[in-house]
Amino acid sequence: MNRTLTSLLLAGGLVAAGQANAGDLLHWQDNSLTYLYGKDFTVNPQIQQTFTFEHANGWKYGDTFFFLDKIFYNGEKDALNGDNTYYGEFSPRLSFGKIFDAKLEFGPVKDVLLAMTYEFGEGDTESYLIGPGFDLAIPGFDYFKLNVYRRTTDGDRDGDDVWQITPAWSYTIPVGRSDLVIDGFMDWVVDNDDSYHANLHFNPQIKYDLGKALSWGAKQVYVGIEYDYWQNKYGIEDSRYFDTDQNTASLLLKVHF
C-alpha cells in the first residue's frame, strides 16, 4: 500500500508543480507564514515556538494543502530531536465531480474526492493516508471538508493500519469593522494497533483580521490564539507514569501573501 500511495502522492505533486506553467488549471492559491508561542506542551519540551509555512490551492481536478512546521524548544532539548525539529504534511485531493464533469451531490455532500496525505519529519513520523473525502455545505461555514483515511505508518510502527477521521473547517463572524475567523482541523484515530493507540487531536485557530481593522487589506494579517488538545499524543497511551494528554494554547501571528 505504501508504494501505491507514494506513487499517487508523487503524481499529485507533479500535477501541482505543473500548475505554475498552466494557469488555466490553477483556480486559486493562498500562502501564509505563522508564528506561534505556547507553553504546557506534553511529551516534547513544555515551551515551544513554531514557524509554519502553509500553501493551499484549488485546481481543475481537485485541491492541495501543504504545511511545514519548524519548532524550537526555547533552549531545552527533546530526548529524540534536540533543541528544534520539523514536521510537515502534503495533502492532495482529487475531485471525482471535477474529473468526470458530473454533479456528485446528495444531502449536504457537494463533492466526493480521493483524499491522500503524506506525513513526514524527524523521528518516527512518516505515515501514508488514503481514503474518501467529502466537501460539505453546512450553513454558516466558509467551508467544511471531511476526509476518512486508512492510515499506514513506517519506521518502528511499520505495519500499523488504522482508521482516521479528519474534518477541517472555517467559520467567519463579523466583529465591528473586521472579522473573527475560527478555522482548523481534527484528527481522530478511532482504533488501535500494536504500537499506535487511538487518539484525538483537536486544533482550531481563533483569529482577528487585524489587516481589515487597520485598513491594510482584508485577509492578510491575523492575530489570535491556536488551541491544541491532543489525547494520547502521537498515539502514545496516557498513563499515571507518562502524561501524553496535551491541553494548551499558543499566541498567534499570521500573514498571508
For the question of whether the overall pTM of this predicted structure is more than 0.85, the answer is yes
CA distance 247 to 227: 8
What three-state secondary structure class fits 56? strand
CA distance 101 to 88: 32
The grid coordinates of residue 163 equal 482508521
The percent of residues in the chain predicted with pLDDT above 70, rounded, is 89
pLDDT of residue 112: 98
Specify whether the CB–CB gap between 67 and 53 falls below 8 A.
yes
Q: Model confidence over 41-75: pLDDT tens digits? A: 999 999 999 999 999 999 999 999 999 999 999 99
- Please check the confidence at residue 17 and state whether its pLDDT lies above 80: no
What three-state secondary structure class fits 216? coil
Question: Domain boundaries in the chain?
Answer: 2-256
Q: Model confidence over 22-44: pLDDT tens digits? A: 558 999 999 999 999 999 999 99
CATH topology of domain 2-256: Outer membrane phospholipase (ompla); Chain C (2.40.230)
The percent of residues in the chain predicted with pLDDT above 90, rounded, is 82
Q: What is the mean pLDDT of the chain?
A: 91
